[in-house]
Structure 1
Amino acid sequence: MREIGIPHPRLPLPPAGEADEPATFLAWLGEAIPMVEHLGIEAMRRDGDTLEWRLALAPSLNDKGTGFGGALTAQTTLLGWCWTTLWLRRHGYDRDVVVAEAGQRFLAPVTGDYRLVCLPEAEEGIERLAERLESRGKGRIALVQQLWWGDTLCLEARGDYAVLPAR
């Protein structure tokens, strides 16, 4: 049981050059952030600079039988946090990440299970983040999240994620 004001222990970094095992990371995430178990995340995969979740709609239904905007917004924000955290871990950084700014546009109702994808907003975003971490010990990256139900883009979100200095 999590306690207010008490940080959850960090997941140990994977061996150098290796990526996190998705199941291990998702299990840790569910312990660290209790609401995760209620989001309907069924799978997570990385493809290059893209992080994708597959989600069930049932846990996020609204009174109209479609996706609840607040739940979908929380999912896009958390996916961006996971993208940043996993990128840092893959590059050997054990750092805290916070969302600095987030916004979204709802384009169509979500009426079935869906997928969320997250990627850097700009091609040079990753390079700038790496440079700032090296020179300043902290950094920031802008990410875009898209929610797809089949071939329909239902939600597009954007967030700035700040990487805090080592503690």
Structure 2
Amino acid sequence: MWLKYGVALSGELTGIDEVVRGKTNLACLYCGGSLTAKKGSVKEHHFAHTGDTCKPVSQRIKTKAFPSLPLYEHFNIELKGEELEQLKVLWKEYGAQKRSIPKDLVNFRWQLKGLVESEGDRSYEFTDLGKIPVGGLPLALFNSYQFRLHRNDILKELTG
């Protein structure tokens, strides 16, 4: 499990690829602790807690009503590096500007994964899920989206 996002003072999600190695001004999504960017040559780049970790929180008794941390791991977006870079460009040029994405710029796999949705015959827009890998989803919406996903998982388990 690697922590790929931290929260900036502005409340926006910031990805590991957007910061330099070392201590940051970012906070953990779950406990609010300070984060350090780990960007070595052996392990995958990730954030680590500068001080105490969320570990005591994740070690709570796990029941069906209390999923373990980190919940964001369950998004299963699984993008190739090239696809992620293309999404970031589209986000900067279209999504962040609140402009529709022309159909000819959209990869069909992104639509299948639920990252973009049709806004008519000729254009697309980012979904909340699609905003996550580009760091475009504000923390409040990130938490709301995450809550809905896990509420649905819990309801499925409870109803059979």
Shared fold by TM > 0.5?
Answer: no
- TM-score, with normalisation over the residues of structure 1? 0.27
- TM-score, with normalisation over the residues of structure 2? 0.28
Over alpha carbons, which structure has the higher Rg? 2
**Which fold has the larger relative contact order, with Cα–Cα distance below 8 Å and residues 6 or more apart in sequence?**
1
